[in-house]
């Protein structure tokens, strides 16, 4: 059923047996070309993907590793409105996917906030959005994957076949067990508009108690929140609707996160709702001066996108522009704190109090998440399937503390662990090796790594996410 006989010479070109024969033409040829390119890479050097864009906030310390060109794997292969599924190649962005599914009245179960996040990236590196309290994370709606493994094989991984262990270990492996070539994922129906209610709270305990009640009672289709200060917390409830008395536009001159304080009720077309955070990269666009209305008028909506801001950040990190400016101005150096963490809802108020005291970044994004399938285990990112978690997203720079250049980030990691939470690895991590493998199930990871990448052609998860190789 699956091409996994570990003999490259005995196989026919193309994707694994069992993959649908009705996929768009050219997929098999693209897979075989990529596999051939992988096998041609130097055998004594780890291989990484060569991608034009990234949404990771881990600076690479090694830029000399060979890059595997995956730029051809950007096709939406099929959208099936009857089965409510889509087959897409791994480098398809969620912007592409949404544009392919909305004409059928469908959307992915979870659409991460930024347009250029790829489907393969969200599956191997996690993702979250306002539907996560009912649909979990993006990998939980995946039905099967074609994966190019570290030994050069292409396997079809499903939750019920001989590669089930790889299927469940793939999320949070960040390309260190293999690369997603094709993903089949579930879709859900949408309606034309989303009605938003922004509810203000002044007490964190009451706020998180109400968030838990709303999620338990399924009182909305989407739930997230924004914290502007210790006594200014907003819970945003989104509900699908067929009609809207008016619609707002946050794709150009107006700014979505500011509207949360200005409107109790709001309406957005469903596509605009899904990308409401992308135009200003949540609120991080303010660092580039583009929240000025005159500047926005000159730039136009096509330049107000998260990938544009990311390129500026990447250049700054590469050449140290900000650090040089701070030195010239005689200002203290700053620590970048780019974090998304999950904390059990019962500990959410305590964690928010920690943030207010120790990490002076505002606003903070709030997003509830619960594992979609209570009977499944995702070993590299284990959550209690019966617990509602709260994702806290906080991004920016703060003055360095005297006790170390990474003191804020380390304090965040320690506090999340103490509260029984989990930390996403898309940003920098500072764990020692023993702690890292304890938190991210080193035993399960090593078992799968030995089977699918016995020669270590791909990076090790600790090397990639902590050592940033």
Structural contact between residues 176 and 169, judged by C-beta atoms closer than 8 angstroms: no
Based on the domain organization, do 24 and 162 belong to the same domain? yes
Confidence category of residue 106, pLDDT binned at 50, 70, 90: very high
What pLDDT sits at residue 321? 76
Residue 132 lies in a domain: yes
| Average pLDDT score over the chain | 91
Rounded to two decimals, the pTM is: 0.92
455 within a domain of the structure (yes/no): no
Residue 277 lies inside a defined structural domain of this protein: no
pLDDT in tens, 410-420: 999 999 999 99
Q: Which distant-in-sequence residues (6+ apart) come within 8 Å of 174 by Cβ?
A: 124, 125, 425, 461, 464, 465
Domain of 88, CATH number, reads 3.30.465.10
Flag whether pLDDT at 5 surpasses 70: no
Domain assignment of residue 243, yes or no: no
Lowest-confidence region among 225-234, 263-272, 422-431: 422-431
CA distance 449 to 151: 10
Between 331 and 453, where is the model more confident? 453
Both 177 and 33 in one domain: the answer is yes
Q: Is residue 417 part of a domain?
A: yes
Percent of the chain past pLDDT 90, that is, above it, reads 81
| 149 φ, ψ (degrees, to nearest 5) | -90, 175
Residue 291 lies in a domain: no
pLDDT band at 409 (very low <50, low <70, confident <90, very high): very high
pLDDT, one tens digit per residue, over 127-182 is 999 999 999 999 999 999 999 999 999 999 999 999 999 999 999 999 999 999 99
DSSP 427: B
More confident residue, 47 or 306: 306
Q: Where a domain ends, among 190, 220, 247?
A: 190
Question: Do 184 and 325 belong to one domain?
Answer: no
Average pLDDT (310-324) is 80
Number of structural domains the chain divides into? 2
Alpha-carbon distance of 255 to 329, in angstroms, equals 31
Question: Other CB atoms closer than 10 Å to residue 193's CB: what's the count?
Answer: 21
**C-beta separation of 280 from 114 below 8 A:** no
Q: Is residue 73 part of a domain?
A: yes
What's the average model confidence in pLDDT over 206-225? 97
Q: Is residue 305 predicted with pLDDT exceeding 50? A: yes
The residue range of the domain holding 421 is: 320-430
**Residue that terminates a domain, selected from 190, 214, 232:** 190
Check whether 112 has a pLDDT greater than 70: yes
* Residue 3 confidence (pLDDT): 33
Tell me, what CATH number does 384's domain have?
Answer: 3.30.70.380
Nearest to 125 by CA among 345, 420, 427: 427
48 pLDDT more than 90: no
Collapsing DSSP to helix, strand or coil, 404 comes out as: strand
pLDDT digits (tens, 9 = 90+) for 351-400: 999 999 999 999 999 999 999 999 999 999 999 999 999 999 999 999 99
Residue 221 is given by DSSP the state: S
Inside any domain, residue 229: no
Q: What is the pLDDT of residues 251-261, one digit of tens each?
A: 999 999 999 99
Mean pLDDT of 443-457: 97
- Asked if the model's pLDDT at residue 230 lies above 70, the reply is yes
The mean per-residue pLDDT over the stretch 81-106 comes to: 98
Last residue of a domain, one of 138, 169, 190: 190
- Position 13 scores a pLDDT of 40
Q: Are 145 and 16 in contact (CB under 8 A)?
A: no
pLDDT of 12 over the 70 cut = no
pLDDT at 21 over 80: no
Q: What's the DSSP call for residue 41? A: S
Relative to beta strand 334-344, strand 389-399 is antiparallel
Task: Please indicate, yes or no, whether residues 17 and 161 belong to a single structural domain of this protein.
Answer: yes
């Amino acid at each position: 059923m699956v091409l996994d006989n570990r003999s490259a010479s005995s196989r026919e070109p193309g994707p694994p047996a069992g993959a649908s024969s009705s996929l768009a033409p050219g997929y098999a040829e693209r897979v075989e070309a990529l596999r051939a390119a992988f096998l041609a890479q130097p055998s004594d050097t780890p291989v990484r993907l060569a991608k034009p864009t990234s949404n990771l906030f881990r600076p690479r310390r090694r830029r000399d590793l060979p890059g595997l060109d995956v730029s051809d794997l950007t096709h939406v292969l099929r959208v099936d409105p009857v089965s409510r599924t889509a087959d897409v190649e791994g480098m398809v962005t969620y912007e592409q996917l949404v544009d392919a599914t909305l004409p059928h009245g469908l959307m992915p179960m979870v659409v991460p906030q930024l347009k250029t996040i790829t489907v393969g990236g969200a599956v191997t590196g996690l993702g979250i959005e306002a539907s996560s309290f009912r649909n979990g994370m993006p990998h939980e709606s995946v039905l099967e994957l074609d994966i190019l493994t570290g030994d050069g094989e292409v396997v079809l991984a499903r939750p019920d076949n001989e590669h089930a262990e790889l299927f469940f270990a793939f999320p949070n492996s960040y390309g260190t067990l293999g690369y997603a070539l094709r993903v089949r994922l579930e879709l859900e129906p949408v309606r034309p508009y989303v009605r938003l209610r922004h509810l203000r709270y002044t007490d964190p305990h009451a706020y998180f108690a109400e968030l838990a009640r709303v999620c338990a009672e399924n009182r909305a289709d989407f739930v997230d929140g924004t914290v502007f200060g210790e006594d200014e917390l907003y819970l945003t409830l989104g509900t699908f609707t067929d009609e809207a008395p008016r619609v707002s536009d946050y794709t150009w001159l107006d700014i979505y996160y500011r509207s949360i304080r200005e409107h109790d009720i709001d309406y957005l077309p469903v596509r605009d709702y899904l990308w409401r955070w992308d135009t200003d990269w949540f609120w991080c666009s303010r660092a580039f001066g583009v929240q000025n209305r005159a500047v926005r008028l000159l730039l136009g909506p096509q330049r107000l996108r998260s990938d544009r801001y990311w390129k500026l950040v990447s250049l700054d990190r590469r050449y140290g522009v900000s650090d040089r400016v701070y030195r010239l101005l005689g200002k203290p150096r700053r620590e970048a704190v780019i974090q998304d963490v999950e904390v059990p809802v019962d500990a959410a108020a305590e964690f928010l109090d920690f943030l207010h005291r120790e990490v002076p970044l505002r606003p903070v994004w709030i997003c509830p998440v619960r594992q979609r399938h209570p009977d499944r285990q995702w070993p590299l990112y284990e959550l209690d399937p019966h617990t509602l978690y709260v994702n806290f997203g906080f991004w920016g720079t703060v003055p360095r503390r005297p006790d170390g250049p990474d003191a804020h980030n380390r304090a965040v990691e320690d506090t999340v662990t103490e509260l029984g939470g989990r930390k996403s690895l898309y940003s920098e991590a500072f764990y020692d090796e023993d702690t890292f493998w304890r938190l991210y199930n080193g035993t399960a990871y090593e078992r799968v790594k030995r089977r699918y990448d016995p020669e270590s052609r791909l990076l090790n998860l600790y090397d990639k996410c902590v050592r940033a190789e």
